[in-house]
Chain A
């Protein structure tokens, strides 16, 4: 029973403890519920609704270009040899832009050929005139026709093209150069020859005796003498050596008991003196001494003789060597001289040929020039003959008053042919007017912005080869904007230059709004006139401000949201509760009136100084509790 009571008591205690802990937890949660709940709410940043201005900016960047662009054109067909400038280069009036290949415009030549054909056809037409119906007319006309043909034949013999003359001139120039080169070569050779002659004169000259036999013989004799003396000396030395050995052996003990102080030499000399007959191999010691001495003397004399002969020989040899060197030099110089003389002869021959060729080329050129001059005269003669024929034909035509269909047709054909001739002549005149030299020069000063032709290509008649923007005519800048942006600006609006540090005094004014060819109808080009410290090619950033307008309700861009129901902002509404303030995100539908980079003007159920939510730590739904960011 006691055990049951104790168990019941334990259970009661456990329940009591649990209740206390539960109540304590509930109390803590109650006190900190707001804080705990706040931690779980998304955090929002807010800003006031304000009033002010909205000023949208339209920005763009573009490259400054010169206001006026000059198209460089030529009225001839010529081949471009070199393009002398590059895109972006600044050129002055008269600067060379293109260098052309030599020769006449191919178009002009073609036109001339066409004119000739047309004239020929015209004459043929006249000759087939239906008006000619009398024999006297026919004869006269035939005669005139022959005259014309003769004149043409004569004239054609003198036909010379400009290309032929240019070729002859070029040929003359080449020949002149060849003649000059040959002359220069001769001059050079002359100089070299003179120099060699001078060098030859500087040498000792004359032939040198190269005979050394006498000296050589003397030298050989002295050498033989020297050798024989050397042999004798050697023989004497050999005899003396053996005698000396024997004598020294004998004299070593001679008179030693009497004169022990004597040296070996003294003993040997004493013994030889005292025993004059003593000796070896039939020769006494004294004789051996004498023989040696004689041999030495003879050897010394032979040596001196040999030395003298040798000195004489070497001196002679040295003398002979120097002479032979000079002689070799002289021979070489002479050989060179001969070669040069031969070269000179060849050069002279060449010069003669070149002079002759030059003379011929000059003659040819002269002939061609004369022919060309004559051609004009002969051409006039042809024209005169043609005119005479034409006059005759026309007079025949005018003398007849009767008309037929055939004649009328002839008249019309004549008129047509004349018109064709006139047109061709007009074209040729125009070409000739446009035909310049071998270069195309800049007609205006400015910057090269486009080069439409390359070296090796042929120019077309009156087609742009190059565009030069004239720098002194003002500058333009244009950039592309959307159609909506273009609607916000108007001509005359000024734009601010932004991010340009090199010059502050730049003014840009909107001059035109044009269609953007690259925009496929979606965009427009704003074209500005730029004034001030700019140059073509500068990159400018422009900002053009829309006229600012005042608005009552302005919110930051980030506060404006949208969903299926349209634009809205979330405002923060405060609700008081016993445990503190609660903040609720509340949706307010708005209409967007205008916006710029940072703010949007809206209309709706907002008042100034409402808090609008600009950003939040989590996506929000209207009615959601939020907490304000703690600054």
Chain B
């Protein structure tokens, strides 16, 4: 009777641990797919058949990039693509990029004004950060009009008292800007924890037509990656020295997450003097959570695996004994 009860307890413990394992794996998967900003390479790849990697470069304070640096970098990347026999001029666009910087600006509308976080952007920012459109459209680096801006819902509400405000005008530093669209900020737990949300405005970084004014502290690129590491190496070699380079499309691989567990402690150190944008902080949050889930999964899998091993060994022994018996019977009969 006692043996039967202990068997039930062991089975229940194993069932509980397996459930914990499944939950950890589910959590791991959840965090891996939580942020759209980390999956831009996959979206960009589409059905093209060319493999792409997403790389981010974060610049330290005082070593920001200028538009001239970006132009030189693009030129170097195109040379690297040509060297790798990739057709830059063909139908498939081998790279797309965006750059951004953050500041604070006071935005005036017809109902009031508010200090908002300003993202001065260039290139295809919303390809990387597909914020949900509430009204209007995004802005992009190849727009003809450089005075169009995108507002977040909170900002639109604060300065207009409405969200369907595409085509209306906001004023910044006495200069009018036309609202192109209104977006919702990311509302996932990681982004919220990283400071997303609140009144924000997205403007063209070259809206004043003065290239020397732009100060860029984040550059992102989706680049053809015919072999693993090609894109990151190309960016590392072509980018002006300094800062940190992250391969977003590989950051959630098992190896990367295991590396975080392995480098636990030093992981939290920021030795570059970089102020990460919220999406990078959110990504680091998800990485940490995935590392935690991986540890939970590994710990919860140990006991069931040992138990399964014992059961398997016992089953093999039993089979061996039964096999011998059958063999003896056959031998006795014949």
Mutual binders A and B = yes
Q: Please determine whether A522 and B147 come into contact, CB atoms closer than 8 angstroms.
A: no
State whether A482 and B146 are in contact (beta carbons under 8 Å apart), knowing that A519-B209, A563-B44 are contacts in the complex. yes
Q: Please determine whether A564 and B48 come into contact, CB atoms closer than 8 angstroms.
A: yes
Listed stretches B170-178, B188-196, B265-273; interface member: B170-178
Q: What per-residue 1/0 map shows which CB atoms of A497-532 lie under 8 Å from chain B? A: 011000000000000000010111011000000000
B81 to chain A, nearest CB (A): 13
Give B224's nearest chain A residue, CB to CB. A564
B124 at the interface (CB under 8 A from A): yes
State whether A59 and B147 are in contact (beta carbons under 8 Å apart), knowing that A558-B181, A564-B44, A566-B91 are contacts in the complex. yes
B144 at the interface (CB under 8 A from A): yes
A134 CA to B137 CA in the complex, in Å? Answer: 104
Which residues of A sit under 8 angstroms from B93, Cβ to Cβ? 562-566
A473 at the interface (CB under 8 A from B): no
Q: How many residues of A contact B (CB 8 A)?
A: 40
B232 at the interface (CB under 8 A from A): no
Q: Please determine whether A56 and B144 come into contact, CB atoms closer than 8 angstroms.
A: yes
A70 CA to B162 CA in the complex, in Å? Answer: 50
Partner of A565, one of B48, B138, B178, B180: B48
Partner of B92, one of A61, A519, A565: A565
Give B213's nearest chain A residue, CB to CB. A518
Which of A480, A484, A564, A566 gathers the greatest number of chain B CB atoms within 10 Å?
A564
A597 at the interface (CB under 8 A from B): yes
A481 CA to B206 CA in the complex, in Å? Answer: 10
B168 to chain A, nearest CB (A): 11
Q: Please determine whether B145 and A57 come into contact, CB atoms closer than 8 angstroms.
A: yes
Q: Please determine whether B47 and A484 come into contact, CB atoms closer than 8 angstroms.
A: no
State whether A59 and B46 are in contact (beta carbons under 8 Å apart), knowing that A558-B181, A566-B91 are contacts in the complex. no
Q: What per-residue 1/0 map shows which CB atoms of B140-151 lie under 8 Å from chain A? A: 000111111000
Which residues of A sit under 8 angstroms from B146, Cβ to Cβ? 481-482, 485
B27 at the interface (CB under 8 A from A): no
Give B92's nearest chain A residue, CB to CB. A564
State whether A539 and B145 are in contact (beta carbons under 8 Å apart), knowing that A556-B137, A557-B137, A564-B44 are contacts in the complex. no
Q: What per-residue 1/0 map shows which CB atoms of B67-100 lie under 8 Å from chain A? A: 0000000000000000000000001111010000
A547 at the interface (CB under 8 A from B): no
Q: Please determine whether B176 and A61 come into contact, CB atoms closer than 8 angstroms.
A: yes
Q: Please determine whether A564 and B45 come into contact, CB atoms closer than 8 angstroms.
A: yes
A164 at the interface (CB under 8 A from B): no
A488 CA to B146 CA in the complex, in Å? Answer: 14
Which residues of B sit under 8 angstroms from A621, Cβ to Cβ? 46
B47 to chain A, nearest CB (A): 7
A60 CA to B124 CA in the complex, in Å? Answer: 23
Q: For residues 520 through 562 of chain A, which have their beta carbon under 8 Å from a beta carbon of chain B?
A: 520, 522-523, 539, 541, 556-558, 562
Q: Please determine whether A59 and B50 come into contact, CB atoms closer than 8 angstroms.
A: no
A161 at the interface (CB under 8 A from B): no
A278 at the interface (CB under 8 A from B): no
Q: For residues 195 through 237 of chain B, which have their beta carbon under 8 Å from a beta carbon of chain A?
A: 206, 208-212
Q: Please determine whether B137 and A558 come into contact, CB atoms closer than 8 angstroms.
A: yes
Which residues of B sit under 8 angstroms from A566, Cβ to Cβ? 91, 93
Which residues of B sit under 8 angstroms from A35, Cβ to Cβ? none
B169 at the interface (CB under 8 A from A): yes
Q: For residues 73 through 114 of chain A, which have their beta carbon under 8 Å from a beta carbon of chain B?
A: none
Which of A556, A565, A616 gathers the greatest number of chain B CB atoms within 10 Å?
A565
Q: Please determine whether B174 and A619 come into contact, CB atoms closer than 8 angstroms.
A: no
Interface of B is mostly: loop
Which residues of B sit under 8 angstroms from A196, Cβ to Cβ? none
Listed stretches B16-24, B128-136, B238-246, B294-302; interface member: B128-136
Q: Please determine whether A558 and B91 come into contact, CB atoms closer than 8 angstroms.
A: no
A488 CA to B132 CA in the complex, in Å? Answer: 32
Which residues of B sit under 8 angstroms from A519, Cβ to Cβ? 209-211
Q: For residues 29 through 77 of chain B, which have their beta carbon under 8 Å from a beta carbon of chain A?
A: 36, 39, 43-48, 50, 52
Give B146's nearest chain A residue, CB to CB. A482
A320 CA to B8 CA in the complex, in Å? Answer: 140
Partner of A563, one of B48, B167, B208: B48
Which residues of B sit under 8 angstroms from A488, Cβ to Cβ? 144
Give A599's nearest chain B residue, CB to CB. B137
Partner of B144, one of A61, A523, A565, A595: A595
A590 to chain B, nearest CB (A): 14
Which residues of A sit under 8 angstroms from B127, Cβ to Cβ? 562
A520 CA to B146 CA in the complex, in Å? Answer: 17
State whether A615 and B133 are in contact (beta carbons under 8 Å apart), knowing that A58-B144, A541-B176, A598-B167 are contacts in the complex. yes
Which residues of A sit under 8 angstroms from B260, Cβ to Cβ? none
State whether A523 and B209 are in contact (beta carbons under 8 Å apart), knowing that A541-B176, A564-B48, A598-B166 are contacts in the complex. yes
A486 to chain B, nearest CB (A): 11
Give B166's nearest chain A residue, CB to CB. A598
A558 CA to B133 CA in the complex, in Å? Answer: 8
Which residues of B sit under 8 angstroms from A492, Cβ to Cβ? none
Partner of B50, one of A61, A564, A614, A617: A564
A417 to chain B, nearest CB (A): 55
Partner of A59, one of B39, B124, B134, B178: B178
Q: Please determine whether B210 and A563 come into contact, CB atoms closer than 8 angstroms.
A: no
B215 to chain A, nearest CB (A): 16
Which residues of A sit under 8 angstroms from B145, Cβ to Cβ? 56-59, 485, 597
A622 at the interface (CB under 8 A from B): yes
State whether A499 and B169 are in contact (beta carbons under 8 Å apart), knowing that A59-B178, A622-B47 are contacts in the complex. yes
Q: Please determine whether A564 and B52 come into contact, CB atoms closer than 8 angstroms.
A: yes
Q: Please determine whether A499 and B44 come into contact, CB atoms closer than 8 angstroms.
A: no
A135 CA to B94 CA in the complex, in Å? Answer: 101
A57 CA to B39 CA in the complex, in Å? Answer: 35
Which of A499, A597, A617 gathers the greatest number of chain B CB atoms within 10 Å?
A597
Which residues of A sit under 8 angstroms from B48, Cβ to Cβ? 563-565
Which residues of B sit under 8 angstroms from A58, Cβ to Cβ? 144-145
Give A561's nearest chain B residue, CB to CB. B127
Q: For residues 547 through 588 of chain A, which have their beta carbon under 8 Å from a beta carbon of chain B?
A: 556-558, 562-566
Which residues of A sit under 8 angstroms from B43, Cβ to Cβ? 563, 619
A288 to chain B, nearest CB (A): 116
Partner of A614, one of B133, B143, B148: B133
Give B52's nearest chain A residue, CB to CB. A564
Which residues of B sit under 8 angstroms from A557, Cβ to Cβ? 136-138, 180
Which residues of A sit under 8 angstroms from B39, Cβ to Cβ? 619
Give B212's nearest chain A residue, CB to CB. A520
Which of B46, B127, B174, B175 gathers the greatest number of chain A CB atoms within 10 Å?
B46
Give B210's nearest chain A residue, CB to CB. A518
B77 to chain A, nearest CB (A): 15
A332 to chain B, nearest CB (A): 74
A579 CA to B43 CA in the complex, in Å? Answer: 31
Q: Please determine whether A563 and B46 come into contact, CB atoms closer than 8 angstroms.
A: yes
A614 CA to B46 CA in the complex, in Å? Answer: 19
Partner of B47, one of A539, A556, A565, A614: A565
Which residues of A sit under 8 angstroms from B166, Cβ to Cβ? 598
Which residues of B sit under 8 angstroms from A485, Cβ to Cβ? 144-146
A297 CA to B213 CA in the complex, in Å? Answer: 123
State whether A484 and B144 are in contact (beta carbons under 8 Å apart), knowing that A566-B91, A597-B167, A615-B132 are contacts in the complex. yes
Which residues does B use to contact A, with CB under 8 Å?
36, 39, 43-48, 50, 52, 91-94, 96, 124, 127, 130, 132-134, 136-138, 143-148, 166-167, 169, 174-176, 178, 180-181, 206, 208-212
| 23 contacts across the A-B interface (CB closer than 8 A) | A59-B147, A61-B175, A480-B208, A485-B146, A488-B144, A518-B210, A519-B210, A520-B212, A541-B176, A557-B137, A558-B136, A558-B138, A562-B93, A563-B45, A565-B48, A565-B91, A565-B93, A566-B91, A595-B143, A595-B144, A598-B137, A616-B132, A619-B130
What 10 A-B pairs have minimum CB-CB distances, sorted nearest first? A557-B137, A558-B137, A480-B209, A523-B209, A615-B133, A564-B48, A563-B46, A563-B44, A564-B92, A564-B93
Known pairs A564-B45, A565-B91, A566-B91. 19 more at Cβ < 8 A? A58-B145, A488-B144, A516-B209, A519-B211, A522-B206, A556-B137, A558-B137, A564-B46, A564-B92, A565-B47, A595-B144, A597-B145, A598-B137, A598-B166, A615-B133, A616-B132, A617-B132, A619-B130, A622-B46
